[in-house]
């Protein structure tokens, strides 16, 4: 089987994804910097980020409906066009000295709302342009590109914002949006062929009912339900991890440099895991999911007892490798289990639920950080993750994982 990069449509989709990931830093960094410069209050910077998270959470299920009702490519192009308009208005407001805090909140909310409408469309477009045996490599490659793009984006955006200012940084962002727009325009979107069903239900014309169909499909398909449940738990862990690593570094007797090392451990592990999945085909998803979940549990749980910074860095790298395998395998199994005509709605549900648990993870970490400390939180999370692995041993889930190529799962 050829590597996905040899597929012309996938190459353009992949290129668009790279440019799109470069946009994030060139919106977030200059806007957060402007808010802090103008107000001097870190809490208002956090409020700006929270508004963006809420907008993204609301957009995901709606984006899934739009992706299934029409052209997925057109949904992505429309959202890129809206991004250009929003960023151009922001540049005008900054240069004219008319930008106010409420205006930043409004622009961030609109940008998050419209920008994240395209997430489910992107996830649903990948399996349309690839053959089923290529899904894993395609997902690994796009995830790797997004991760590297985000890392480069934030570093470049910080440099440009510091050297040239907020407006020029936003202008760079517009340039990357236009390049993403150009690349996606070359993708030839295959037509979705509805798959035969014993009981074919007519698609709902109501947006709200269509969103409900995505939730219903997940609820009635055990393998999807538990994949998403474990992914939510993983995101619940990842959300506060960055905030906990600073006090954890101090507990280990480290400095700010060691805090940076700990953070790089996860990133390095994810890069290794995603790179491996471009070359290693996982043939048996059940052992892979069990090994991945329990490797996550082991690595997080052992952080509670890590004696040195370097041991912790190794454990975090192990966590990153396992997390990357879990994410790619979950994405691949969802694409294999869901019929193409429902793919957008299901990805909207997945994206919305995973975004929804992140604020809960941050809130829980804030609530228990002083009483339990980082070590106590890591131990509890490790135990929860270990228990979650047993979900994959249930009869219906095992049966579905034994035949991953059957679209539609168990209903």
Report the C-alpha gap between 328 and 138 in whole angstroms: 9
What the block records as the tokens of 356 is 């929804």
| DSSP conformational letter for 272 | H
Tell me which H or E stretch contains 372: helix 343-389
Q: Give the pTM.
A: 0.75
**Superfamily for domain range 210-401:** MFS general substrate transporter like domains (1.20.1250.20)
What local confidence, expressed as pLDDT, does residue 409 receive? 40
Handedness of CA 52, 58, 64, 70 (dihedral sign): negative
What the block records as the tokens of 181 is 């727009």
Q: What residues does CATH 1.20.1250.20 cover in the chain?
A: 11-184, 210-401
DSSP three-state, residue 117: coil
Residue listed under structure tokens 């690595």:
299
Half-sphere exposure of 195 (CA within 13 A, CB side): 12
Top-level CATH class of 11-184?
mainly alpha
What local confidence, expressed as pLDDT, does residue 199 receive? 44
Q: Determine if residue 40 is left, alpha or beta; phi over 0 gives left, psi from -120 to 50 gives alpha, anything else beta.
A: left
Measured between alpha carbons, how far apart are the two ends of the chain, in Å?
A: 31
Distances (CA, A) of 86 to 33, 174, 284: 18, 10, 45
What local confidence, expressed as pLDDT, does residue 404 receive? 46
What local confidence, expressed as pLDDT, does residue 388 receive? 84
What local confidence, expressed as pLDDT, does residue 183 receive? 94
355 with 234: CB under 8 angstroms? no
Report the C-alpha gap between 158 and 344 in whole angstroms: 34
What the block records as the tokens of 283 is 């043939």
141 with 12: CB under 8 angstroms? no
What local confidence, expressed as pLDDT, does residue 91 receive? 92
Report the C-alpha gap between 29 and 13 in whole angstroms: 25
What the block records as the tokens of 51 is 């508004």
161-213 pLDDT, tens digit per residue, is 888 888 999 999 999 999 999 999 999 988 766 554 444 454 455 555 566 77
- Phi, psi angle pair for 396, to nearest 5°: -60, -35
Residue ranges of the chain with pLDDT lower than 50?
196-200, 202-203, 404-411
What local confidence, expressed as pLDDT, does residue 410 receive? 40
């Amino acid at each position: 089987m050829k590597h996905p990069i040899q597929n012309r449509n996938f190459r353009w989709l992949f290129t668009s994804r790279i440019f799109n990931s470069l946009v994030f830093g060139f919106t977030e960094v200059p806007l957060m910097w402007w808010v802090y410069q103008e107000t001097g209050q870190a809490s208002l910077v956090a409020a700006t980020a929270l508004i963006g998270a809420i907008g993204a959470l609301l957009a995901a299920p709606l984006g899934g409906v739009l992706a299934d009702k029409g052209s997925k490519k057109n949904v992505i192009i429309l959202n890129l066009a809206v991004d250009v308009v929003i960023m151009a208005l922001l540049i005008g407001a900054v240069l004219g000295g008319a930008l106010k805090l409420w205006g930043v909140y409004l622009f961030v909310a609109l940008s998050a709302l419209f920008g994240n409408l395209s997430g489910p469309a992107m996830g649903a477009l990948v399996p349309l342009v690839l053959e089923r045996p290529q899904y894993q490599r395609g997902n690994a490659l796009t995830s790797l590109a997004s991760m590297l793009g985000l890392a480069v984006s934030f570093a470049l955006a910080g440099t440009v914002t510091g050297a040239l200012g907020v407006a020029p940084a936003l202008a760079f962002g517009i340039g990357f949006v236009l390049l993403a727009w150009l690349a996606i325009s070359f993708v030839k979107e295959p037509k979705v062929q509805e798959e035969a069903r014993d009981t074919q239900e007519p698609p709902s014309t109501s947006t709200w009912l269509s969103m409900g169909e995505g939730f219903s499909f997940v609820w009635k398909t055990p393998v999807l339900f538990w994949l998403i449940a474990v992914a939510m738990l993983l995101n619940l862990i990842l959300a506060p991890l960055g905030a906990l690593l600073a006090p954890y570094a101090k507990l280990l007797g480290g400095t700010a440099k060691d805090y940076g090392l700990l953070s790089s451990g996860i990133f390095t592990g994810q890069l290794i895991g995603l790179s491996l999945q471009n070359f290693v085909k996982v043939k048996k998803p059940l052992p892979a999911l069990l090994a991945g979940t329990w490797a996550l549990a082991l690595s997080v749980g052992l952080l509670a007892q890590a004696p040195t910074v370097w041991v912790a860095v190794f454990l975090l790298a192990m966590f990153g490798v396992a997390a990357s395998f879990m994410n790619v395998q979950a994405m691949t199994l969802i694409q294999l289990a869901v019929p193409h005509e429902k793919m957008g709605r299901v990805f909207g549900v997945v994206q919305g639920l995973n975004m929804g648990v992140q604020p809960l993870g941050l809130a829980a970490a804030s609530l228990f950080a002083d009483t339990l400390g980082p070590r106590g939180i890591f131990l509890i999370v490790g135990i929860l993750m270990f228990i979650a692995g047993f979900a994959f041993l249930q009869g219906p889930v095992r049966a579905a994982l034994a035949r991953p190529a059957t679209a539609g799962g168990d209903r």
